[in-house]
Structure 1
Amino acid sequence: MTELRGVGIGLGVAQGPVARMAEPFPPPEDVDSTRSAEEEGARVRDAVAAVARELEQRGAQAGGAARDVLEAQAMMAEDPALLTEVDTRVGDGKTGERAVWEAFASFRDQLTALGGYLGERAADLDDVAQRVIARLRGVPAPGIPDPGHPFVLVAKDLAPADTALLNLDMVLALITTEGGPTSHTAILAREKNIVAVVGAADAGSLTDGTVVIVDAAAGVVTVAPSQDELDRAENRAAARASAATAPVTPGALADGTPVPLLANLGKPEGAAEAVELGAEGVGLFRTEFLFLSANAAPTVAEQRDAYTRLLSAFPGKKVVVRVLDAGADKPLPFLNDSHEENPALGLRGLRALRASEDILREQLTALAEADAATRATPEGPADLWVMAPMVSTVEETEYFVAMAREYGVKTAGVMVEVPSSALLADRILAHADFASIGTNDLTQYTLAADRLLGSVAAFQDPWHPAVLRLVREVGAAGAALGKPVGICGEAAADPLLAVVLVGLGATTLSMAPTALADVRASLLSHTLDDARRVAEAALAADGAASAREAARAASASQKVTQP
């Protein structure tokens, strides 16, 4: 028995035999074409168009986040600059297959060099190139294996087109050797609630038929486990399934201390599922969906309609809306499209909005109008809270809160995502009504590791004691000033880490709706004193892995049962 480590996606555990993804095509031979440049160019254009339409069709069939991903990939396939590169190579006498391979590889290398969000999209170009080459050759593109029985899929990285249409009756879990926590594989695995471990570099040695246990909660793949280990994993999976079907109750600790469990949402359309899964409100509503696919900022009316739909879905419940968090790594032509050498440290979040203040003012106008429009809801209006992203100073806090008040926002807060705001939490919360800790970015900036870069994914671990200490600073400031402190990063979806966060002073937890049942069950097995002891054990560790193990040991010593 051996263990392989990576980044766990989801919270579950699964077991089964391995089936490996087919290897991609090797580079086409660099030989002169026997066709004219016009003929080769026409072949490539037809193949690219066919692949783009296929991606769009798969997206329409899959729906949800998969549709957005695949539509973006289709647009990437037909990028005019990319096709110009292909035409140039075809004009030099290369075959269509070789021209596509070279041009797409060149663009891929450029994206990889940029890093961040764009760097994560490099793998998408590889997939498109493989599909176009397959179309040119008249053969199927490399895809999901079909061994005829349920299996654990092992791949270098999964393309969005493959992940979107996985047969969940056959695919028990996913393991990839590359990719980070924000790769498309990870995003779609979360949406589909698939057990997955990504970035497990040594998984390339796994062979077809080898039985493995995939433990996403621990980020571990156990190879050739014993029968006892298989039985324990099966019991854990059964307990998790049972917890997911248990009656939904408000989030609380074993001693009755309330810990509201909220949902992270990206679009109003996700509200119904969140409510069904037990969300007690919204802890993070990302407004970027209105902006990222547009060439111009949406109108106040367009925004108001979207916010009204969201608020109407949560009558009488808290809804926390984050104003636009874009710029730098996700440049918008109407906000900030200038190149930055280090986009993670650039003009993003509130910084970008201050540079284009009219966009912020229009967003606050739309939110205020939506709030007013839902005041007559029979069950009571939603309780609208609005927060600014990437706040790093007291002055920025004062600026945003004052502007929010100007537009009638009653509850205005800030995201704590950088160490400076965590260390100054007492002064920041003297002005803001609440703080919400974005553990993804807070971990990135604390450990100087780009959270969108797979090569440093191992550093992107919110269990690190340095991150936990900063969370404690914010929790202590909130308690001293009587201000709520929420968690809205991926950390809140980890059942044991959720207990630690509450022990550090978090008053609410917000997560992907599919994680609510696990976290609810975990909280119910700890009292507030338990949570504080588990948190202290984690804080005393030297690293992320030892903090996680110390927390597990402290939890077990209290004789509580983890889901």
Structure 2
Amino acid sequence: MTPRRWDTSKSWSPVPRSAASGSDGLVGIGVSPGIAFAPLKRMAEPIAAPEASLRHAGDAEAEQHRLTQALHAVATELERRSEQARSAGRDDAADVLQAQVMMASDPGLPEGAGAMIRQGKAAERAIFDTFNTFRDMITSAGGYMAGRAADLDDIRDRVVAVLTGADMPGIPESDEPFILVAHDLAPADTAGIDADLVTALVTVQGSPTSHTAILARTMGIPAVVACASAAELEEGVQLLVDGSSGTISVDPDEQQVAQAREVDRLRLAAIAESTGPGATADGHRVQLLANIGGPDDVAAAVANGAEGVGLYRTEFLYLDRVDEPTLEEQRHAYHQVSVAFPNGKVVVRTLDAGADKPLAFIPTAEEPNPALGERGLRLAHTHAQLLADQLEALGQVHENDPAELLVMAPMVADVDDAEFFTRAVRNAGLNQAGIMVEVPSAAIRARDLADIVDFFSIGTNDLAQYTYAADRQVGNLAAYQNPWQPALLDLIAMTARAAAEAEKPCGVCGEAASDPVLACVLVGLGVTSLSMSAPALPMVRAALARHDLAQCRAAAEAALGERDAEAANAAAKEALPALMELGLA
């Protein structure tokens, strides 16, 4: 059978607490939409750890020089890959690789290994131990930083490979398309993928926020992560991968492949027909917006029919740099996005950093639980100038650009937070101050907050994390990130109801908005706008256009009446009869 990849739109399915074998195959976490059918190829085995007792011949200076050359060679190769990705228009991949170049060039690496080399350790073992020390430091930080541990492991293995003459880690060569299965993928690996050959990615580890997930979505490659059972699959076996649901069929029969093709045909047909502003079948308007990380994401948003931006993640202007972006840098980045939607709205989230996403230019104390630490708006209380500068830059854009500019704060927990932020926004000359509802206390007391702010935007990813006390970076706890969880739906309903009573808009900008079935439920709960990754927009638009508001409300009521995520999903689908024609039933 000829390997082939079919693009589809993302649709969440209930995911077990850990990846497992289901009745039809394997189950992981679907993180990048699409369907692929092809033989499996594995990544090469990781570089073996050098013997702990390995020692050099006695010339410490020569050994230090050998290490310096190896680090330089790795940094040079990563730089070449970054430039290659940039020239191919893959800026996200280039940025990730550039961050690795900085890691490989860190003077702390040869300095730390140098002490061990002077004590007699061979360069490969000394640098191996030094990298592992760095790794332990960032892993203990948790959250965003812990997710960068794979980056360090990749650089470590590349340096050891240069020093020992071993084969460099990387993508297997092939003349035919294949599905790549790996324990995990480093940025240098994903950045070097040829999408015409690698038709899908499957990893044993990983999370929805890993580099594998981010780059796979950017490249349009279906991907499933945290699939533990994939480690047992044999080389060359035929796989049918659904990057939306996270399911993997092993050696599927012709009927299963035919069904996948039919689902793909229905979805692609629906996407082709999906045009115009978002609305239900009876004309109830629902703004469909895009989540972006910066100006580079605007083209995809426009191409997929976004009516504006519902979440501009401004932290990408700040991360991986040694100084704060200037007012002009910020203004330019915001202006580039604003001018792309002259008749729409652009919702900018102020800096969501600190704790699990530390800034190099802001010293922070070590925290025992970074996810519950000084992050988001809380950082502005201790570093007020950061927020003041950002709002000043946004105020200049608001004054000169035609787009409707709205500004919202992350990690708002109570009335004091809301009042603090609203005052700051007003003082900067901006007239639309909103908040992210991602802390349960904000949802529970949404009625109080609605009297203070101009709009709500529900961040379902963090709201789920904090509601279920389950770190969203931990693959084994992925089930708690399932947005169909009834307790999460209760909090969304509570927030939307409070907003409606105050006659304030209430959007959703978490991953939940990208599920076309759940999108109907969210509208039924009273949500007024949905913001998602750009490729998900056409299918969500199509699902809404095929159901009226009464059906959406019935689906929401049915989901709220169930006791678990799987039952809520099934009950909602029963109330949405047109899903069959979209291949979603």
TM-score by length of 1: 0.94
Residues 1:494 and 2:515 are matched in the alignment = yes
Post-superposition shift, 1:200? 0.6
Identity %, equivalent residues: 49
Residues 1:278 and 2:305 are matched in the alignment = yes
Post-superposition shift, 1:425? 1.1
Post-superposition shift, 1:508? 0.7
Q: Is the 8 A contact 1:13 1:215 kept in 2?
A: yes
Post-superposition shift, 1:251? 1.5
Post-superposition shift, 1:158? 0.8
Counterpart CA distance in 1 for 2:579 and 2:477 is: 35
Post-superposition shift, 1:480? 1.7
Q: Is the 8 A contact 1:499 1:522 kept in 2?
A: yes
Aligned to 1:205: 232
Post-superposition shift, 1:428? 0.7
Post-superposition shift, 1:332? 2.2
For the structure 1 residues 334 and 132, does the alpha-carbon distance in structure 2 shift closer, same or farther, using more than 3 Å as the test? closer
Counterpart CA distance in 1 for 2:140 and 2:320 is: 23
Aligned to 1:171: 198
Counterpart CA distance in 1 for 2:470 and 2:242 is: 24
For the structure 1 residues 354 and 106, does the alpha-carbon distance in structure 2 shift closer, same or farther, using more than 3 Å as the test? closer
Deviations 1:243-300 (A, max 9, x none): 4444632112222222111111111232233112211101011222322234333333
Aligned to 2:494: 473
Aligned to 1:235: 262
For the structure 1 residues 153 and 487, does the alpha-carbon distance in structure 2 shift closer, same or farther, using more than 3 Å as the test? same
Deviations 1:413-444 (A, max 9, x none): 11101100011111111111100011111111
Equivalent pairs, count: 557
Post-superposition shift, 1:533? 2.2
Counterpart CA distance in 1 for 2:480 and 2:148 is: 20
Counterpart CA distance in 2 for 1:287 and 1:148 is: 41
Which 5+ residue runs of structure 2 have no aligned equivalent?
A: 1-22
Aligned to 1:95: 122
Larger deviation, residues 144-153 vs 295-304: 295-304
Post-superposition shift, 1:135? 1.5
For the structure 1 residues 305 and 94, does the alpha-carbon distance in structure 2 shift closer, same or farther, using more than 3 Å as the test? same
Aligned to 2:34: 12
Pick from 547, 554, 558: which aligns with 1:526?
547
Counterpart CA distance in 1 for 2:366 and 2:194 is: 41
- Counting only pairs closer than 5 Å after superposition, residues 182-197 of structure 1 correspond to structure 2 as 182-197=209-224
Pick from 484, 488, 502: which aligns with 2:505?
484
Q: Is the 8 A contact 2:75 2:105 kept in 1?
A: yes
Post-superposition shift, 1:459? 2.4
Larger deviation, residues 34-43 vs 162-171: 34-43
Counterpart CA distance in 1 for 2:218 and 2:326 is: 29
Post-superposition shift, 1:94? 2.3
Pick from 18, 36, 43: which aligns with 1:21?
43
Post-superposition shift, 1:455? 4.0
Pick from 394, 399, 402: which aligns with 2:423?
402
Aligned to 2:335: 308
Counterpart CA distance in 1 for 2:46 and 2:577 is: 45
Aligned to 1:540: 561
Residues 1:507 and 2:528 are matched in the alignment = yes
For the structure 1 residues 413 and 123, does the alpha-carbon distance in structure 2 shift closer, same or farther, using more than 3 Å as the test? same
Counterpart CA distance in 2 for 1:494 and 1:339 is: 37
Post-superposition shift, 1:544? 2.7
Pick from 233, 254, 271: which aligns with 2:281?
254
Residues 1:109 and 2:109 are matched in the alignment = no
Deviations 1:8-63 (A, max 9, x none): 11232222221111111222233222352222211111111111121122122213
For the structure 1 residues 146 and 237, does the alpha-carbon distance in structure 2 shift closer, same or farther, using more than 3 Å as the test? farther
For the structure 1 residues 76 and 561, does the alpha-carbon distance in structure 2 shift closer, same or farther, using more than 3 Å as the test? same
Deviations 1:298-328 (A, max 9, x none): 3333322222222112112111111111111
Which 5+ residue runs of structure 1 have no aligned equivalent?
A: 375-380
Aligned to 2:444: 423
Residues 1:226 and 2:249 are matched in the alignment = no
Counterpart CA distance in 2 for 1:80 and 1:198 is: 33
Aligned to 2:80: 57
Counterpart CA distance in 2 for 1:183 and 1:81 is: 25
Q: Is the 8 A contact 1:308 1:373 kept in 2?
A: no
Pick from 436, 456, 460: which aligns with 2:481?
460
Aligned to 2:11: none
SS in 1 for 2:576: helix
Q: Is the 8 A contact 2:222 2:243 kept in 1?
A: yes
Q: Is the 8 A contact 1:115 1:453 kept in 2?
A: no
Aligned to 1:44: 67
C-alpha RMSD of the superposition: 2.0
Letter in 1 for 2:80: Q
Q: Is the 8 A contact 1:262 1:279 kept in 2?
A: yes
For the structure 1 residues 532 and 11, does the alpha-carbon distance in structure 2 shift closer, same or farther, using more than 3 Å as the test? farther
Counterpart CA distance in 1 for 2:286 and 2:477 is: 33
Counterpart CA distance in 2 for 1:247 and 1:84 is: 57
Aligned to 1:382: 403
Q: Is the 8 A contact 2:109 2:127 kept in 1?
A: no
Residues 1:122 and 2:122 are matched in the alignment = no
Counterpart CA distance in 2 for 1:455 and 1:108 is: 21
Counterpart CA distance in 2 for 1:308 and 1:114 is: 34
Letter in 2 for 1:360: L
Pick from 55, 58, 74: which aligns with 1:32?
55
Pick from 281, 290, 297: which aligns with 1:263?
290
Post-superposition shift, 1:559? 5.8
For the structure 1 residues 183 and 397, does the alpha-carbon distance in structure 2 shift closer, same or farther, using more than 3 Å as the test? same
For the structure 1 residues 142 and 291, does the alpha-carbon distance in structure 2 shift closer, same or farther, using more than 3 Å as the test? closer
Aligned to 2:394: 367
Counterpart CA distance in 1 for 2:160 and 2:134 is: 16
Counterpart CA distance in 2 for 1:223 and 1:548 is: 25
For the structure 1 residues 146 and 246, does the alpha-carbon distance in structure 2 shift closer, same or farther, using more than 3 Å as the test? farther
For the structure 1 residues 255 and 80, does the alpha-carbon distance in structure 2 shift closer, same or farther, using more than 3 Å as the test? same
Letter in 1 for 2:373: G
Letter in 2 for 1:36: D
Letter in 1 for 2:70: A
Aligned to 1:143: 170
For the structure 1 residues 257 and 279, does the alpha-carbon distance in structure 2 shift closer, same or farther, using more than 3 Å as the test? same
Aligned to 2:5: none
Larger deviation, residues 495-504 vs 164-173: 495-504
Pick from 393, 396, 400: which aligns with 2:414?
393
Deviations 1:65-85 (A, max 9, x none): 111111111212222333323
Letter in 2 for 1:22: A
Deviations 1:519-553 (A, max 9, x none): 22222222222222222232233333333333334
Post-superposition shift, 1:171? 1.2
Q: Is the 8 A contact 1:155 1:175 kept in 2?
A: yes
SS in 2 for 1:180: coil
Counterpart CA distance in 2 for 1:224 and 1:546 is: 29
Q: Is the 8 A contact 1:525 1:560 kept in 2?
A: no
Q: Is the 8 A contact 1:13 1:236 kept in 2?
A: no
Counterpart CA distance in 1 for 2:221 and 2:369 is: 33
SS in 1 for 2:582: coil
Post-superposition shift, 1:130? 1.3
Aligned to 2:189: 162
